[in-house]
Structure 1
Amino acid sequence: MAAAHIVGTFAVWDYVVFALMLLVSAAVGVYCAMSGGGQQSSQDFLMGGRKMTAVPVALSLTATFMSAITVLATPSEVYQYGAMFILFTLSYSLMVFVTSEVFLPIFYRLGVTSTYEYLEMRFSRAVRLCGTVLFIFQTVLYTGIVIYVPALALKQVTGFDLWGAVMSTGIVCTFYCSLGGLKAVVWTDVFQLATMMAGFLVVIIRAVLLHGGFSVIIDDSQKGGRLNLWDFDPNPFKRHTFWTITFGGAFVWIGIYGVSQAQVQRYVSCKSLNHARTSLYLNLVGLWAILLCAVFSGLCLYAIYQDCDPWTAGLISAPDQLMPYLVMDILRDYPGLPGLFVAAAFSGTLSTVSSSINALAAVTVEDLVKPYISMSDRKLSWISKGLSLFYGAVCIGMAAIASLLGGLLEAALSIFGIIGGPLVGLFSLGIFCPFANSTGGLVGLFSGLGLSLWLGIWGQLYPPYHSEPLSLSTAGCNFTVNPGGQNWTQSLVHSPLTTKAALEEKEYSAQLVDGWYSLSYLYFSPAGAITVFAVGVIMSLLTGGKKLKLAPELRLMKEDLTCYCLYNIFKQKAMNHGGELDLKKCREIGLGTNNPAFCSSELDLTQRKAESNISSIFSP
């Protein structure tokens, strides 16, 4: 693979802006560690004392979603395939609604610290351990890649020191996670989200001014076929359609927001159920804003390089380098602004990695230490901090391993979604099927995981035929000499992935494998989830699941639904029977500090329900 062409180098002010971002992030960690009496217990460290409010948690949820891979890869996706990616706004909406109404009420009512505690309450310790191990595996692998891949892309285009970036971000992130715990993670996420948005907006504003205005970019994108938003083809083998993005994408993101520790840990740390729900919906607005910025950045890329594709021309060696190339191309005469974009990209890295480290420490303490070793809460707090240091080092080490993986990086990234689908199926089985037992859960989990891994791995080895980018051109390139030293004497109009050799290779691959290997990657997650659910139901019924007596707190109840709460309030007001009192109670519960986890951890589930009035005030 050819080396990328370095458009420009960082100036002093660019390094100053990047260093300032790291310094502020570290300072926030120190402040959170020292304020409010410090981290006195493992709950303070891992859950922020369960007193977090909606707005910072919402911003943290959004920042965690927006990794550096999002900053670099989403605009590249739009540049190559078009703006259909904007339809993820619909899948985000479905995800937030399902998470708020189905998963959040149960996790919040039970007062869990680790999401996988629910699996032991509902099934068995073996099922819980399986969920924990799967989470640790996918998170460590993904986090290492999140650290390394953006650093590599930025280094090859800007000349930014690769391992200096990897080590500095990894060390700073580990430092404030280990010192300040969840509070530090949440508040640094707020700062980092602001930095990321600033980086996006600087690039967008400069591109719009350079290209003659917003309408010109939209018009050029329309002529180039990039505004291909509506494709209702039900073919499951097409890479992106309305159906694959909306419904397949919803499953993928429910796996992240609904059951993944990194996200669940934030909203269950809120001081009330209302704050937790509000954080999810505020986060939805943030997701829409980020996606809009990323998609429009991709349209800016196309408008500027529609006649001279840097990839086809050999100026970059991978699509992820398109955004750094654009930044250095249009902002190199403005010292500090390229540094702001790089700070934005690495803010994405910091927010994702810090969330992962904190979540890894939480599940290790709750799932692998506390059930087997009895110790004081003070000692658990120190163990949590030590685990944060340990996982920080592991993630940096994983970044080093990622540098040796080469072409396997894309396959490794897919595992994040492939594992999430079966876990969604497992949690859904427990929530919706009162007869589901441990045997059904285990057999279903391994069946769904096996199917999604099979589809994912073979799908990477034999990519779908329906995945060629839209046409790109080098007809307008003005080079006297290209990076390879050859004169440009003719116009080239083709897509970098649709050369004759590439097409022949894809045709050959299609002959080797069955059509199911060409299933859209967004359907891997629902395929795994549905398999777990179906197999789990069948196995549970075959192994005596109907005899299972399940505590009502472990499954979704009508009192958990927002619509049922509103129905009762309006019903009582209409009947003039205590409606005003219940409405007042509803507001108190929503806004007060009533996190059920403040109940003694020794209470059993029945007692916990009796003492918590979150749901009982809505009973008929």
Structure 2
Amino acid sequence: MDPSRGIGTFVVWDYVVFAGMLLISAAIGIYYAFAGDKQQTSKDFLMGGRRMSAVPVALSLTASFMSAVTVLGTPTEVYRFGAIFSLFGITYLLVVVISAEIFLPVFYKLGITSTYEKQYLELRFNKYVRLCGTIVYIIQTVLYTGIVIYAPALALNQVTGFDLWGAVVATGVVCTFYCTLGGLKAVVWTDVFQVGIMLAGFVSVLIQASVIQGGIGPIINDARNGGRLNFWNFNPNPLQRHTFWTIILGGTFTWTSLYGVNQSQVQRYISCKSRFQAKLSLYINLVGLWVILVCAVLCGLALYSRYHDCDPWTNNKVSAPDQLMPYLVLDILQDYPGLPGLFVACAYSGTLSTVSSSINALAAVTVEDLVKPNFRSLSERSLSWISQGMSVLFGVLCIGMAALASLMGALLQAALSIIGMIGGPLLGLFSLGILVPFGNSIGALIGLLAGFAASFWVGIGAQLYPPLPERTMPLSLETYGCNNTYNGSNWMTTTAMPFSTTAFQEHNVERTPLMDNWYSLSYLYFSTLGTLVTLFVGILVSLSTGGRKQNLDRKFLLTKEDMLFNFDNFKKKEQVVGYKSHPVEEGGTDNPAFNHIEMNFTDPSGRTSGTHL
């Protein structure tokens, strides 16, 4: 690069593009609040009336999954640690298959709004297990959303001059606005718009970086020479931060806890009008995940090619690695007014999509789990207003929690660590319920507590005593091309500072075997540990407390009929058994939580119909 050439600054057109993205997102919420199908009931507000089709839901799943954590964190991850991160493409395939074939069939046939509500956890176990699951989910979502709001705002503030708290509040207010007005339909369709903005931002960076660097070939050559094409590392050591095994095994557990049982994702695919559409949305979403991952990895390689001999971080041009992508954008796109604004809109589109899905899911869980069981006389109209009020409340709470995120360190790892520490035990809990017929409430509760104890022990220990560089394996960052002098000479450095440095880190502490082994466990294994401990303890306790004697309804388990659904779908459709007392989607069941009890039947074609009693 030319070290004498400074980066650009934001101009009027950049602000216009960014503001336009926010206005269009808000306008979608207004449309679904006052035009077309209005949100008359809490079912309409929280689940889009269960009339959504596969494609918009798939794009929404992709958008909410690929937050600003991906836009800013993944290129930085590739820049610092290499393209081994691209192995997550295999992980995504495994996650989608597991979610579509194991968890989706059970949740969809129950027709539930909340994965934690009385219709699953309470009826499968008891109300205490359900209450634990609800509270833990709310804590996890608020913490994760705080990171998603704050971290990109901080990175963009220090590079572009964007006002930090202005950006934080604007993000939260716009999300809260269209979630409150438009419900799930507004969330899904703004996600569709925002995933387009995310792709446009990535593509603009990739095209211009290729032009400046002389094409994709030189970018790949620079990455190869810098050791960034490190795709295959089969070291089985669980203490190594990223290897083939930590990404495939640990990553699968981490992301399945998000896709398989997390309310914000489950709520989307069970809003589809049929089980086939729900599964299709997950598989279409897989293509979207791969496209975004490829774009993010290529941006990381382009980032390294541009700064392979003059790293802006060690050269003190940026104060944190998460600021590297905004720095690159203002460097290479400064001659194209509006394009830096497009990339900022790209980053914030990821933020908006994730925050909006979180707010909508939190409202759903609160209304279904805490309000409806205790206030059974409320009308559907009243529940709809309460759902909107919950959206406002959680929007404000998430903005407030953004301040705590400043203590969590690097964006990508902090986000995945929270998902793993809290999501792992929850994944173990639902796996116990769906896959283990003799799992009982005592085993579930004790297993969940044991899983949390294990994952929080290692997770908090890793925050206090981050792994040494020989565990995280950062690649070299060089500055010999910067024309900077220290002590009278040019210098080159390999950054030794751990990537997971946090404000909680204990300095000048003598390392112990516990720190160098247990606390150095790859952060991707936090979820694996929590899931397996929850399952193992839950199974042992259930067996020893009479789990085999319980009389369990098979609809709460994954059954052979659920597994054969895909094959039955290709058979000739037969007449649906049962009577639907009001218009509901073909192949779906009405929500049993809405003041009636529904028995579920599966006809020979595999379609579920409901009979009201």
**Fold shared, TM-score > 0.5 on shorter chain:** yes
The equivalences for 1:40-55 within 5 A come to 40-55=40-55
SS at match of 1:608: strand
Provide, for residues 206-258 of structure 1, a one-character-per-residue CA deviation record: whole Å limited to 9, x for no partner.
00100000111111111111000011111111111111101110000100000
Give the structure 1 partner of residue 580 of structure 2: none
1: CA distance, partners of 2:416 / 2:572 = 52
For structure 1, which segment, 151-160 or 439-448, has the greater mean C-alpha deviation from structure 2 after superposition?
151-160
Mapped pair 1:377 → 2:380: yes
Q: What is residue 174 of structure 1 aligned with on the other side?
A: 176
Q: Are the equivalent residues in 1 in contact too, given 2:116–2:130 (CA < 8 A)?
A: yes
**Relative to 1, partners in 2 of residues 1:600 and 1:347: Cα closer, same or farther, differing over 3 Å?**
closer
Deviations 1:173-212 (CA, angstroms, capped at 9, x unpaired): 1110000000000000000110011011111110010000
Match of 1:609 among 588, 601, 606: 601
Matched, 1:556 2:558: yes
Which one-letter code corresponds to 2:489 in the other structure?
Q
Please name the residue that 2:478 is paired with: 473
- CA deviations on 1:384-410 (whole Å, 9 max, x unpaired) are 00111111111111123444x365986
Q: CA 1:569 to 1:303, structure 2 compared with 1: closer, same or farther past 3 Å?
A: closer
Deviation at 1:296, TM superposition (A): 0.6
Q: Is the 8 A contact 1:53 1:270 kept in 2?
A: yes
**What runs of 5+ residues in structure 1 fail to find an aligned partner?**
480-485, 571-578
Shift of 1:585: 7.6
Is contact 2:569–2:606 with CA below 8 Å preserved after alignment?
no
Deviations 1:439-465 (A, max 9, x none): 000000000011000011111222223
Whether 2:123 is the aligned partner of 1:140: answer: no
Bigger mean CA offset, 529-538 vs 26-35: 26-35
Q: Secondary structure at the match of 2:36?
A: helix
Find the counterpart in structure 1 of residue 587 from structure 2.
594
Amino acid at match of 2:422: I
Please name the residue that 2:33 is paired with.
33
Task: Check conservation: 2:250, 2:527, Cα contact below 8 A.
Answer: yes
- Per the alignment, residue 56 of structure 2 pairs with 56
The alpha-carbon deviation at position 478 of structure 1 amounts to 3.2
Paired residues for 1:32-431 under 5 Å: 32-117=32-117, 118-374=120-376, 375-403=378-406, 405=407, 407=409, 414-431=417-434
Amino acid at match of 2:297: V
- TM alignment of 1:571-586, pairs within 5 A: 580=572
Does the aligned pair in 2 maintain the 1:72–1:320 contact within 8 Å?
Answer: yes
In 2, the alpha carbon distance for the partners of 1:363 and 1:78 equals 36
Q: 1:600 to 1:340 in 2, by over 3 A?
A: closer
Q: Deviations over 1:266-302 (max 9, x none)?
A: 0000000011000000000000011110011000011
Q: Which amino acid in 1 is paired with 2:97? A: F
Q: Structure 1 residues 178 and 612 mapped into 2: Cα distance closer, same or farther (>3 Å)? A: farther
Q: Does 1:491 align with 2:496?
A: no
AA matched with 1:457? I
Structure 1 residue 592 displacement after superposition: 6.2
Tell me the CA shift for residue 162 of structure 1. Answer: 1.2
2:11 corresponds to 1:11: yes
Q: 1:445 to 1:6 in 2, by over 3 A?
A: farther
User: How far did residue 616 of structure 1 move?
Assistant: 7.2
The answer as to whether partners of 1:272 and 1:594 remain within 8 angstroms in 2 is: yes
What's the TM-score, normalizing by structure 2? 0.91
Paired amino acid for 1:441: A
- Rounded to whole Å, the distance in 2 between the matches of 1:88 and 1:580 is 38
Q: Is the 8 A contact 2:416 2:524 kept in 1?
A: no
Q: Could you tell me which runs of 5 or more consecutive residues in structure 2 were left unpaired when the two chains were aligned.
A: 578-583
Match of 1:483 in 2: none
**Equivalents in 2 of 1:141, 1:600: separation in Å?**
28
**Cα distance between partner residues in 1 of 2:572 and 2:335:** 64
Q: Shift of the alpha carbon at 1:595?
A: 1.5
Q: Cα offset for 1:604?
A: 4.1
User: In structure 2, do the counterparts of structure 1 residues 552 and 324 end up closer, same or farther at CA, with 3 Å as the change threshold?
Assistant: same
Higher normalized helix content (fraction of residues): 1
Matching residue of 1:482: none
Equivalent residue letter for 1:61: L
Find 1:458's aligned residue among 461, 464, 467.
461
What is the aligned partner in structure 2 of residue 575 from structure 1? Answer: none
Percent of aligned pairs sharing the same letter: 60
Aligned AA (2:57): V
For the structure 1 residues 432 and 406, does the alpha-carbon distance in structure 2 shift closer, same or farther, using more than 3 Å as the test?
A: closer
8 A Cα contact 2:573 2:605, kept in partner: no
State the 1:603 CA deviation.
Answer: 4.9
Contact 1:471 1:493 survives alignment (8 Å): no
For 1:609, what is the secondary structure of its paired residue? strand
TM-score, normalization by structure 1:
0.90
**SS in structure 1 of the partner of residue 69 of structure 2:** helix
Q: CA RMSD in A?
A: 2.6
- Alignment check: 8 A CA contact 1:6 1:159 kept: no
Q: Give how far 1:594 is off.
A: 2.7
